[in-house]
Structure 1
Amino acid sequence: MLLVAVNALVGGTLGQERTVLPLLATHTFNLGLYTSALTYILAFGLSKAAMNYFAGTLSDRFGRKPVLVAGWIVAIPVPLMLIFGPTWGWIVAANVLLGISQGLTWSTTVVMKMDLVGPKQRGLAMGFNEAAGYLGVALTALATGYIAAEYGLRPGPFLVGAAYIALGLGLSVLRVRETHHHAKVEAAQHVSSHDAAHGNLTNGQVFALTSFKDRSLSAVSQAGLVNNLNDGLAWGLFPVLFASAGLSLGQIGILAAVYPAVWGAGQLVTGAASDKYGRKWLIAAGMVVQAVGLGMVAAGDSFGIWLAAAVLLGLGTAMVYPTLLAAIGDVAHPTWRARSVGIYRLWRDGGFAVGALLSGILADLYGLPAAIAAVGALTALSGIVVAVRMRGNDHVAA
């Protein structure tokens, strides 16, 4: 539960940007083109994706706690850069650091929870972890929206993030304990029916299995990428769409918060459900539900329709998010599970960068609704890939 609390702070550190930064791009720095405004998500996605990979490797080599603490230390300059940055380049640089921090901290809390729980409760543990993180995102997005409306876009919203970083670093240094030894004990007792699950693999072999060779691991990796592709779209373009329709800053803050709030709270149910009923069909159905929500955003023109769409998008993401992580843990052997989680999260958070580029280019060429509709169609296709390619009984084998 201490790690759950730490990950809520990790999510809150990200949430300080969700409502405010897209508006900072257009109102303070006068960035007209969607592609230019989305550069901060591209920078965040690339740096976080890379750090996800290194977080798994480093935590296997040096232990989990040092990686977690290092992630918080990297985050210390971020609020100051967001508050005082005189040019957009400073904001982009802050998001490079934020991506590094999120990759190290969030990945490590995932791995530490997998260390601590057995396979029968892996989905439940991932549900708690991701629920805490995204409820942290949602509540902070809502709070910073109201702070920005009352006191301006800077500095107020980012002081919240500074407080989160101080508290998260303090808890990680003083209270969190190392968990790597739990994984070593589990590795000695591990039994699996899958050829992919043997130990003593090189980093290259783990990368190939997770990305391409193993049917379940590769299906999970592509679904994770597409999921965060549409999350990058929601982060960067939804506030701009809502503002262009005449919604107030308070209404935009509500919409920015509802999606991750439903996503966060729903995972308390969906993670445990995947332990009981399996991972495959929950993931496939969740991608389709997300696609429906995106279609509603593209077709909508009012707060009520967009609110319903945000709920659907959050529900679909809740079905997918902890289930994907648990599915990685089902197949990966404990001796290389942290590396496999890191590689999956590399692909998944690479979706932020792909989403920023793709949605920005499409929005510049064809307008916001067309960009959102195209990403919705891609999300539905990803669900079909999961239904066709992923094995259905991995959680039983683990």
Structure 2
Amino acid sequence: MTRLPAPIQLGLRENAAQFTLLVAVNALVGGMVGQQQTVLPLLAETEFGLTGYPFIFAYVAAFGVTKAATNYAAGTLADRYGRKPVLVIGWLFAIPIPLLIIWAPAWEWVIAANILLGINQGLTWSTTVMMKIDLVGPRQRGLAMGLNEAAGYGAVAVTSVIAGHLAEQHGLRPAPFLLGLSYAALALLLTTTFVRETRDHVALEAASTPPSPASNRQIFADVTWREPALSSASQAGLVNNLNFGLSWGVFPLLFATGDLDIAQIGILVALYPAVWGAGQLATGWLSDRWGRKPLISGGMLLQAASLAVIALAADPTGWAAGTVLLGLGTAMVYPALLAAVGDVAHPAWRGRAIGIYRVWRDLGYAVGAVLGGLVADAINLTAAVWTAAALSLASGLIVAIRMYETHPRAELRPGHKGSTGT
């Protein structure tokens, strides 16, 4: 007797097995970044003799620009051809990354590896975000994004610590980067064998939603400047990732001024994504109950305060306190931003909206790396941190003034604007 396929349903519980698998896959996505975070700035100075901050941070800028561009492609391709093919292709780009770094005779090889990492992250992380939003439907987007981002950035933190320990025990190459090679191989196996397409879930949600046709040009305009909630999310995402890009390049070098060994620096660096990752388990859920806007605005303001703490500190205790607060502020912002974009975007063009939002958000990596490098070269590392604090303060105020609440439960509240429908 032939077993009929299970009917398509929306919801976290209804799609628990597939959702859990995608959480695991996204943890491996984050691990690909974590293998580099502690080690590469130290590798630049000790093995390649690089001392100019903008040149050292070029690898972060290359990653950020490539990831931003690939996010746009990921959204368009996923809406047109499906989510799973994009996810598989993204993991194929991951295989050469650790090998290029292990064998690199010059820093340009490391930059090339980070270009591939940007493609990998843009295709895989964007697609896992879309697939989880597809599966859960409108009620639990915040929780879904909290679980997704917690897995990804938790893996960044854990892998950063492991990579730092491996570097301390076995040298900066090749041991830390063998982690990335194993992550890529495992993820490719899981994705090709067990992950299922989610376009039927999109069709089910779209069937109960009024049509909202939109061209790529209209969607780009809405997400970039025209639609208040979407464009507010884009600028906040950019500044948020500016802080992450800055931390990637500046923090290891700043902490090294405290005469810490590589393993200790790795722990300090990992505190930020560790709190960020774990905190999202709560903040994503809270955004489904309190709304998106309070967490986004409050989180950006907390990031500004935490960067000020890091800039004022002169010892590991102060730096640890600042990075913990920075992780908490980022945890407040990250799942709420993705959920807000999912709230406003129509299912038919959600992939493209998420892709464009992630273009602007992930350009923050490049802006943070370049700006941090230029300010650090012109003044010092602490001045670069102060610059990020000022930008975070401005971003939080923009959200407080311009953004409206997007959570579906707010639809009946006075003044709720909802989607523009482009």
**TM band (smaller chain):** over 0.9
Residues of 1 paired with 2:299 and 2:260: CA distance? 28
Shift of 1:82: 0.7
Give, as a single letter, the amino acid of the residue that structure 2 aligns with 1:46. V
User: Does residue 273 of structure 1 match 2:286?
Assistant: yes
| Cross-structure match for 2:250 | 237
Normalising to structure 1: TM-score of the pair? Answer: 0.97
| 2:341 is the alignment partner of 1:328 | yes
Give the one of 122, 125, 141 matched to 2:141.
Answer: 122
The residue identity in structure 2 corresponding to 1:137 is V
Match of 1:134 in 2: 153
Q: How many residues align?
A: 392
Letter of the 1:332 partner, please give it. Answer: A
Give me the whole-angstrom Cα distance separating, in 2, the residues matched to 1:135 and 1:111: 19
The SS at the match of 2:347 is coil
The structure 1 residue matched to 2:383, chosen from 370, 373, 380, is: 370
**Do structure 1's residue 162 and structure 2's residue 170 form an aligned pair?**
no
Contact (CA 8 Å) 1:327, 1:395: kept in 2 or not? Answer: no
Q: Secondary structure at the match of 2:169?
A: helix
Radius of gyration: which is bigger?
2
Q: Given the alignment of the two structures, is residue 51 of structure 1 paired with residue 44 of structure 2, yes or no?
A: no
- Within the candidate set 46, 60, 71, 1:41 is matched to 60
Corresponding residue for 2:4? none
Match 1:339 to one of 325, 333, 352: 352
Partner Cα distance (1:244, 1:43) in 2? 26
8 A Cα contact 2:343 2:406, kept in partner: no
- Mapped to 2, the partners of 1:119 and 1:317 lie a distance apart of 23
Counterpart pick for 1:251 among 256, 264, 269? 264
TM-superposed deviation, 1:393: 4.4
Kindly state the Cα deviation for residue 296 of structure 1 after the two structures are TM-superposed.
1.1
Question: Partners of 1:394 and 1:126 in 2: how far apart?
Answer: 14
Q: Percent identity?
A: 58
Partner of 1:119: helix, strand, or coil?
coil
What amino acid does structure 1 have at the position aligned with 2:280?
Q
Structure 2: runs of 5+ lacking an equivalent: 1-19, 412-417
Native 8 Å contact 1:72 1:168 kept in 2: yes
2:39 maps to which residue?
20
How far apart, in 1, do the equivalents of 2:243 and 2:406 lie?
A: 28
Q: Answer whether contact 2:310 2:385 (CA < 8 A) is retained.
A: yes
**Which residue of the partner structure matches residue 228 of structure 1?**
241
- Runs of 4 or more, structure 1, over 6 Å off, are none
1:310 to 293, 311, 323: 323
Aligned-residue offset at 1:380 = 0.9
> Which has more helix, going by share of residues?
1
* 1:301 aligned residue (314, 319, 322): 314
Whether contact under 8 Å (1:69, 1:169) holds in the other structure is yes
Partner of residue 185 from structure 1, selected from 184, 204, 215: 204
Shift of 1:190: 1.6
Q: TM-score, normalized by length of structure 2?
A: 0.92
Deviations for 1:39-88, whole angstroms, at most 9, x for unmatched residues?
Answer: 00000000000000100000111110000000000111001001001000
Distance 1:96 1:208 in 2: 27
- Cα displacement (A) at 1:184: 1.2
**Which position in structure 2 is the counterpart of 1:195?**
none
Give the Cα–Cα distance (whole angstroms) in 2 for the partners of residues 260 and 320 of structure 1: 13
Residue 391 of structure 1 aligns to a residue in which SS? coil
1:213 is the counterpart of 2:232: no
In the TM superposition, residue 352 of structure 1 has moved relative to its aligned partner by 0.5
Q: Tell me the alpha carbon deviations over residues 112-153 of structure 1, each in whole angstroms, 9 at most, x when there is no partner.
A: 001001211000000000000000100000000000000000
Unaligned runs of 5+ in 1: 192-197
Q: Which amino acid in structure 1 is aligned with residue 396 of structure 2?
A: G
Distance in 2 between residues matched to 1:206 and 1:393, nearest whole Å: 17
RMSD (CA atoms): 0.9
Corresponding position: 1:349 with 2:368: no
Do 2:296 and 2:396's aligned partners in 1 also have CA atoms closer than 8 Å? yes
How far did residue 26 of structure 1 move? 1.0
Does the 8 A contact of 2:229 with 2:406 survive in 1?
no
SS in 1 for 2:254: helix
Kindly provide the amino acid, as one letter, of the partner of residue 315 in structure 2: S
- The one-letter code sitting in structure 2 at the alignment partner of 1:181 is D
| Partner secondary structure for residue 348 of structure 2 | coil
User: Equivalents in 2 of 1:138, 1:392: separation in Å?
Assistant: 31
* Aligned-partner residue type, residue 257 of structure 1: A
